Amino acid sequence: MTAPFEPRQKHKERICLSLATGEQLPTGIAVAADLRTDLRISIDRDGHIRAISSGINAREEAFRNVADLEAPFSADAFDATSVCFAAIWRGHPEHAFNGFIESPELRAAGNDSHGDQCQETLLAHWDFTPTLAHTSIPNSLDSDAPLTLVNASMRAVRSSGWTGRKLDWKHAPAEYAAIRFHSDDLSDCGRQTSIHREIPADMASVVYGLRVDNGEGADTIPLYVTVASGGKHARIAFLAPTLTYLAYANNARGNFSWPLAARVKT
Protein backbone atom coordinates (compact mmCIF):
# COMPACT_ATOMS: atom_id res chain seq x y z
CA MET A 1 0.00 0.00 0.00
CA THR A 2 1.42 3.39 -0.98
CA ALA A 3 0.43 6.75 0.39
CA PRO A 4 -0.33 9.64 -2.02
CA PHE A 5 2.50 12.07 -2.56
CA GLU A 6 2.11 15.30 -0.62
CA PRO A 7 4.41 18.17 -1.62
CA ARG A 8 6.41 19.60 1.25
CA GLN A 9 4.65 22.57 2.77
CA LYS A 10 6.39 25.83 2.05
CA HIS A 11 7.07 28.35 4.77
CA LYS A 12 4.63 31.24 4.42
CA GLU A 13 4.88 34.91 5.27
CA ARG A 14 1.86 37.13 5.85
CA ILE A 15 1.71 40.33 3.82
CA CYS A 16 1.44 43.41 5.99
CA LEU A 17 1.19 46.99 4.72
CA SER A 18 3.13 49.65 6.62
CA LEU A 19 1.95 53.24 6.59
CA ALA A 20 4.23 56.25 6.98
CA THR A 21 2.62 56.81 10.38
CA GLY A 22 4.04 53.48 11.56
CA GLU A 23 0.63 51.78 11.55
CA GLN A 24 0.62 48.15 10.38
CA LEU A 25 -2.24 46.83 8.24
CA PRO A 26 -2.30 43.01 8.06
CA THR A 27 -3.87 41.75 4.83
CA GLY A 28 -4.37 38.13 5.85
CA ILE A 29 -2.74 37.07 2.57
CA ALA A 30 0.13 34.59 2.89
CA VAL A 31 2.98 34.30 0.41
CA ALA A 32 4.87 31.00 0.35
CA ALA A 33 8.65 30.98 0.35
CA ASP A 34 10.36 29.59 -2.77
CA LEU A 35 7.23 30.04 -4.88
CA ARG A 36 6.71 32.83 -7.41
CA THR A 37 3.70 34.96 -6.60
CA ASP A 38 2.12 37.73 -8.66
CA LEU A 39 1.29 40.48 -6.18
CA ARG A 40 -0.99 43.38 -7.10
CA ILE A 41 -1.85 46.19 -4.68
CA SER A 42 -4.24 49.01 -5.58
CA ILE A 43 -4.92 52.11 -3.49
CA ASP A 44 -7.40 54.92 -4.08
CA ARG A 45 -7.64 58.40 -2.58
CA ASP A 46 -10.43 57.36 -0.23
CA GLY A 47 -8.19 54.85 1.51
CA HIS A 48 -9.56 51.71 -0.12
CA ILE A 49 -6.84 49.10 -0.53
CA ARG A 50 -7.11 45.84 -2.43
CA ALA A 51 -4.32 43.25 -2.34
CA ILE A 52 -4.39 40.32 -4.76
CA SER A 53 -1.91 37.45 -4.85
CA SER A 54 -1.98 34.75 -7.50
CA GLY A 55 0.23 32.01 -8.85
CA ILE A 56 0.82 28.25 -8.78
CA ASN A 57 1.14 26.48 -5.43
CA ALA A 58 3.33 23.49 -4.48
CA ARG A 59 0.64 21.12 -5.80
CA GLU A 60 0.78 22.90 -9.17
CA GLU A 61 -2.70 24.31 -8.61
CA ALA A 62 -3.61 27.86 -9.53
CA PHE A 63 -4.55 30.10 -6.61
CA ARG A 64 -5.87 33.63 -6.18
CA ASN A 65 -6.32 35.43 -2.85
CA VAL A 66 -8.01 38.81 -2.42
CA ALA A 67 -8.03 41.13 0.60
CA ASP A 68 -9.86 44.45 0.95
CA LEU A 69 -8.71 46.98 3.56
CA GLU A 70 -9.51 50.48 4.68
CA ALA A 71 -6.79 52.92 5.71
CA PRO A 72 -6.67 56.65 6.43
CA PHE A 73 -4.86 58.52 3.66
CA SER A 74 -4.41 62.19 3.05
CA ALA A 75 -4.29 63.65 -0.43
CA ASP A 76 -0.57 64.32 0.12
CA ALA A 77 0.06 60.58 -0.04
CA PHE A 78 -0.55 60.72 -3.81
CA ASP A 79 1.80 63.61 -4.46
CA ALA A 80 4.93 61.48 -4.16
CA THR A 81 7.59 61.96 -6.81
CA SER A 82 9.57 58.78 -6.16
CA VAL A 83 8.99 55.07 -5.58
CA CYS A 84 11.09 52.63 -3.56
CA PHE A 85 11.06 48.84 -3.83
CA ALA A 86 12.32 46.27 -1.30
CA ALA A 87 12.68 48.80 1.54
CA ILE A 88 11.20 51.86 3.20
CA TRP A 89 13.19 54.92 2.17
CA ARG A 90 13.87 57.58 4.79
CA GLY A 91 16.97 59.06 3.23
CA HIS A 92 18.40 55.58 3.63
CA PRO A 93 16.81 52.11 3.33
CA GLU A 94 14.99 50.72 6.38
CA HIS A 95 13.10 47.45 6.93
CA ALA A 96 14.79 45.96 3.88
CA PHE A 97 13.14 43.05 2.07
CA ASN A 98 14.73 39.61 1.69
CA GLY A 99 13.55 37.95 -1.49
CA PHE A 100 13.09 38.15 -5.26
CA ILE A 101 11.32 40.84 -7.26
CA GLU A 102 10.71 40.75 -11.00
CA SER A 103 9.30 43.27 -13.47
CA PRO A 104 7.48 45.79 -11.20
CA GLU A 105 4.90 48.11 -12.74
CA LEU A 106 3.07 51.25 -11.66
CA ARG A 107 -0.45 51.82 -13.00
CA ALA A 108 -3.19 54.42 -12.57
CA ALA A 109 -6.93 54.02 -13.01
CA GLY A 110 -9.41 56.85 -13.36
CA ASN A 111 -13.20 57.16 -13.35
CA ASP A 112 -15.43 57.79 -16.31
CA SER A 113 -18.30 60.28 -16.46
CA HIS A 114 -20.56 57.82 -14.58
CA GLY A 115 -18.08 57.43 -11.72
CA ASP A 116 -17.16 53.90 -12.73
CA GLN A 117 -13.54 52.87 -12.80
CA CYS A 118 -12.16 52.94 -16.33
CA GLN A 119 -9.22 51.19 -17.95
CA GLU A 120 -5.87 51.39 -16.23
CA THR A 121 -2.95 53.35 -17.64
CA LEU A 122 0.55 51.95 -17.37
CA LEU A 123 2.73 54.72 -15.89
CA ALA A 124 6.03 52.90 -15.41
CA HIS A 125 7.58 49.51 -16.01
CA TRP A 126 11.06 48.61 -14.81
CA ASP A 127 12.61 45.66 -16.61
CA PHE A 128 15.06 43.77 -14.35
CA THR A 129 16.65 41.93 -17.27
CA PRO A 130 20.39 42.06 -16.44
CA THR A 131 22.71 44.38 -18.29
CA LEU A 132 26.27 45.52 -17.75
CA ALA A 133 24.88 48.67 -16.05
CA HIS A 134 24.63 47.54 -12.44
CA THR A 135 23.62 50.83 -10.81
CA SER A 136 20.31 51.65 -12.48
CA ILE A 137 17.24 50.02 -14.03
CA PRO A 138 15.68 51.75 -17.06
CA ASN A 139 12.00 52.63 -17.19
CA SER A 140 10.64 51.30 -20.48
CA LEU A 141 8.01 54.10 -20.61
CA ASP A 142 10.05 57.05 -19.39
CA SER A 143 13.80 57.24 -19.84
CA ASP A 144 13.93 60.08 -17.30
CA ALA A 145 12.58 57.88 -14.47
CA PRO A 146 14.98 54.95 -13.97
CA LEU A 147 15.40 53.06 -10.70
CA THR A 148 18.66 53.56 -8.84
CA LEU A 149 20.02 50.41 -7.23
CA VAL A 150 21.27 50.80 -3.67
CA ASN A 151 23.91 48.51 -2.15
CA ALA A 152 24.54 46.25 -5.15
CA SER A 153 21.62 43.82 -5.02
CA MET A 154 22.09 40.46 -6.76
CA ARG A 155 21.36 40.69 -10.49
CA ALA A 156 20.83 37.99 -13.16
CA VAL A 157 18.61 35.84 -10.93
CA ARG A 158 16.33 33.16 -12.40
CA SER A 159 12.95 34.67 -13.19
CA SER A 160 9.50 33.26 -14.03
CA GLY A 161 10.56 32.69 -17.65
CA TRP A 162 13.52 30.48 -16.75
CA THR A 163 13.65 27.26 -18.78
CA GLY A 164 16.89 25.76 -17.50
CA ARG A 165 18.28 25.44 -21.02
CA LYS A 166 20.81 28.24 -20.59
CA LEU A 167 22.93 28.47 -17.47
CA ASP A 168 24.68 31.67 -18.52
CA TRP A 169 22.43 34.74 -18.28
CA LYS A 170 24.24 36.40 -21.17
CA HIS A 171 22.86 33.70 -23.51
CA ALA A 172 19.26 34.13 -22.28
CA PRO A 173 18.96 37.40 -20.31
CA ALA A 174 15.15 37.36 -20.38
CA GLU A 175 15.23 34.16 -18.28
CA TYR A 176 17.26 35.87 -15.55
CA ALA A 177 15.14 39.00 -15.20
CA ALA A 178 14.81 39.10 -11.40
CA ILE A 179 16.74 40.77 -8.59
CA ARG A 180 17.49 39.06 -5.28
CA PHE A 181 17.39 41.58 -2.45
CA HIS A 182 19.14 41.00 0.88
CA SER A 183 18.69 43.18 3.95
CA ASP A 184 22.46 43.10 4.53
CA ASP A 185 23.53 43.99 0.96
CA LEU A 186 26.19 46.69 1.14
CA SER A 187 28.34 48.33 -1.52
CA ASP A 188 29.09 51.83 -0.26
CA CYS A 189 27.66 53.51 2.83
CA GLY A 190 28.03 56.85 1.05
CA ARG A 191 29.22 58.57 4.20
CA GLN A 192 31.06 61.87 4.02
CA THR A 193 34.50 62.34 5.55
CA SER A 194 34.08 63.33 9.21
CA ILE A 195 37.70 63.38 10.37
CA HIS A 196 40.79 64.56 8.53
CA ARG A 197 44.19 64.61 10.16
CA GLU A 198 47.62 65.24 8.69
CA ILE A 199 50.12 62.59 9.77
CA PRO A 200 53.51 64.05 10.81
CA ALA A 201 56.37 62.83 8.65
CA ASP A 202 58.32 61.64 11.69
CA MET A 203 55.42 59.65 13.19
CA ALA A 204 56.44 56.08 13.99
CA SER A 205 55.20 53.42 11.59
CA VAL A 206 53.04 51.25 13.86
CA VAL A 207 49.40 50.25 14.35
CA TYR A 208 47.27 53.02 15.86
CA GLY A 209 43.68 53.13 17.04
CA LEU A 210 41.13 55.89 16.45
CA ARG A 211 38.65 55.94 19.31
CA VAL A 212 35.15 57.15 18.42
CA ASP A 213 32.41 57.76 20.98
CA ASN A 214 28.92 59.15 20.35
CA GLY A 215 27.74 58.96 23.94
CA GLU A 216 25.77 55.76 23.34
CA GLY A 217 28.62 53.53 22.27
CA ALA A 218 32.33 53.59 21.63
CA ASP A 219 34.67 51.81 19.26
CA THR A 220 38.35 51.80 18.38
CA ILE A 221 39.15 51.73 14.68
CA PRO A 222 42.62 50.33 13.88
CA LEU A 223 44.72 52.13 11.31
CA TYR A 224 48.21 51.64 9.96
CA VAL A 225 50.79 54.35 9.42
CA THR A 226 53.51 53.56 6.91
CA VAL A 227 56.97 55.08 6.70
CA ALA A 228 57.05 58.50 5.05
CA SER A 229 58.80 58.86 1.73
CA GLY A 230 62.51 58.98 2.44
CA GLY A 231 61.98 57.95 6.07
CA LYS A 232 63.89 55.34 8.00
CA HIS A 233 62.69 51.74 7.50
CA ALA A 234 62.85 49.04 10.14
CA ARG A 235 64.88 45.90 9.63
CA ILE A 236 61.76 43.70 9.83
CA ALA A 237 58.66 44.30 7.66
CA PHE A 238 55.14 43.54 8.89
CA LEU A 239 52.54 42.74 6.24
CA ALA A 240 49.07 43.85 7.36
CA PRO A 241 46.14 42.31 5.40
CA THR A 242 44.17 45.55 5.51
CA LEU A 243 41.69 44.48 2.82
CA THR A 244 40.49 41.50 4.88
CA TYR A 245 41.55 42.75 8.32
CA LEU A 246 38.14 42.71 9.98
CA ALA A 247 37.16 39.44 8.32
CA TYR A 248 40.05 37.54 9.90
CA ALA A 249 40.81 39.59 13.02
CA ASN A 250 37.66 38.26 14.76
CA ASN A 251 37.18 41.62 16.46
CA ALA A 252 39.30 40.40 19.35
CA ARG A 253 40.03 43.86 20.72
CA GLY A 254 39.23 44.36 24.39
CA ASN A 255 36.62 47.06 23.77
CA PHE A 256 34.53 44.51 21.86
CA SER A 257 34.34 41.99 24.70
CA TRP A 258 31.10 43.08 26.33
CA PRO A 259 28.91 43.58 23.20
CA LEU A 260 30.13 40.28 21.77
CA ALA A 261 29.29 38.49 25.01
CA ALA A 262 25.81 40.05 25.01
CA ARG A 263 25.18 38.84 21.46
CA VAL A 264 26.32 35.31 22.31
CA LYS A 265 23.87 35.16 25.23
CA THR A 266 20.94 36.09 22.98
Residue 131 CA to residue 156 CA, distance in Å, equals 8
Consecutive H or E run containing 69: strand 62-70
DSSP 141-210: S-TT-PEEP-S--EEEE--TT--SS-SSGGG-GGGG-EEEE-TT--S---PPP----PPPTT---SEEEE
DSSP string of 206-239, one letter each residue: SEEEEEEE-SS-EEEEEEE-PPPTT-PPPSS---
User: Would you state the pLDDT for residue 168?
Assistant: 93
Residue 180 pairs with which residues in a beta bridge?
100, 154
- Mean pLDDT in residue range 34-41: 86
255 pLDDT above the threshold of 60: no
Specify the range with the lowest mean pLDDT, choosing from 130-134, 142-146, 194-198.
130-134
H helix and E strand count, the chain: 2, 16
pLDDT (tens digit per residue) in 164-218? 999 999 999 999 999 999 998 888 777 788 888 888 888 888 888 888 898 888 8
Which residue, among 253, 252, 191, 198, has the nearest Cα to 225 in the 3D structure? 198
Antiparallel, parallel or unpaired: β 93-94 and 207-213: unpaired
Would you say 53 and 38 are in contact if contact means Cβ atoms under 8 Å apart? yes
For residue 221, give the nearest of 243, 193, 251 by alpha carbon.
Answer: 251
Beta bridge partners of 201: none
- Asked if 239 and 248 touch (Cβ cutoff 8 Å), the reply is no
The DSSP bridge pattern shows strands 218-224 and 136-137 to be: unpaired
Chain centre distance of CA 235? 49
pLDDT of residue 6: 41
Decide if pLDDT at 33 tops 80: no
Average pLDDT, integer, range 76-103: 84
Prediction pTM value: 0.67
Map out the domains of the chain as residue ranges.
12-181, 207-265
Dihedral (CA of 234, 239, 242, 243) sign: positive
